[in-house]
A and B are shown apart, each in its own frame.
Chain A
């Protein structure tokens, strides 16, 4: 099941720089997209989301961009901090499906001091 793909298993950035995490999807029925952050031995923590009627949503240092025609979304973290080091999951849901989430495999972000 490759409906949600995160093609970069890992990303390393310097503290203070921008982190850009990417996600692609194939199911055109998806209308709600979320990013979760996960630390070891913890569950996914909700970070930010975007619905398909928008192309950008911002919350503090985190911005999610959605390009529906390309079926692509990205998460920008500016400025990156060492505490942002975690696995980031992209997830998507379709409204008629009880909002069950389909996840990508995750990207391990490492922010170096």
Chain B
């Protein structure tokens, strides 16, 4: 069964450094999402992406965050200058089409640890 692939599984970065989290969505999917889960808290929506542009973002997704689909397969989340509070699990998800009844499929996540 096709799946969403995320790399790396664990990223350790010094505070203030840039980090790029990578995702390969399911190949025929058109809608892409990033979520994060801080330890002990809910899974929270960050951003949705369609047709090479952001379609919606949360208040968490400030100017330090950006997303990109640099080629036909990868979908990346970049944090320009990481802060301690960015430490979390980051999940990528994709969806085949924009219609009711189509679930989002998630990758296994990247654990980001900011030191």
Q: What separation, in Å, do the CA atoms of A89 and B43 have in the docked complex?
A: 9
Given the known interface contacts A43-B91, A44-B43, A44-B91, the answer about A101 and B104 at a Cβ–Cβ threshold of 8 Å is yes
Q: Contact at B104–A46, with CB atoms within 8 Å? A: yes
Q: Contact at A43–B98, with CB atoms within 8 Å? A: no
A92 to B: closest C-beta gap in Å:
11
Pick the residue among B33, B42, B43, B106 that contacts A45 (CB under 8 A). Answer: B106
**Stretch of A16-24, A61-69, A76-84, A102-110 at the chain-chain interface:** A102-110
Query: Which positions 15-50 of chain A face chain B at CB distance < 8 Å?
Result: 31-32, 34, 36, 41-46, 49
Q: Interface residues of B toward A: which range?
A: 20 to 34
Q: Contact at B101–A49, with CB atoms within 8 Å? A: yes
Query: Which positions 73-115 of chain B face chain A at CB distance < 8 Å?
Result: 91, 93, 95, 98, 100-109
Annotate B51-71 by CB proximity to A: 1 below 8 A, 0 otherwise. Answer: 000011010000000000000
Which residues of A lie under 8 Å from residue B108 when comparing CB positions?
41-43
Q: Interface residues of A toward B: which range?
A: 20 to 34
Minimal Cβ-Cβ distance residue in B for A42: B108
Q: What separation, in Å, do the CA atoms of A105 and B41 have in the docked complex?
A: 7
Q: Contact at A98–B43, with CB atoms within 8 Å? A: no
Pick the residue among B42, B50, B95 that contacts A103 (CB under 8 A). Answer: B42
Which residues of B lie under 8 Å from residue A100 when comparing CB positions?
33, 45, 48, 56, 58
Q: Contact at A105–B42, with CB atoms within 8 Å? A: yes
- The interface centre, meaning the residue of B43, B44, B91, B98 with most chain A CB atoms within 10 A of its CB, is B43
Which residues of B lie under 8 Å from residue A41 when comparing CB positions?
108
List 9 A-B pairs, minimum CB-CB distance, nearest first: A43-B106, A103-B43, A98-B48, A46-B103, A100-B45, A43-B108, A98-B56, A44-B106, A98-B55
What residues make up the interface of A, taking CB atoms closer than 8 Å to B?
A: 1, 31-32, 34, 36, 41-46, 49, 51, 89, 91, 95, 97-106
What residues make up the interface of B, taking CB atoms closer than 8 Å to A?
A: 4, 6, 31, 33, 35, 41-45, 48, 50, 55-56, 58, 91, 93, 95, 98, 100-109
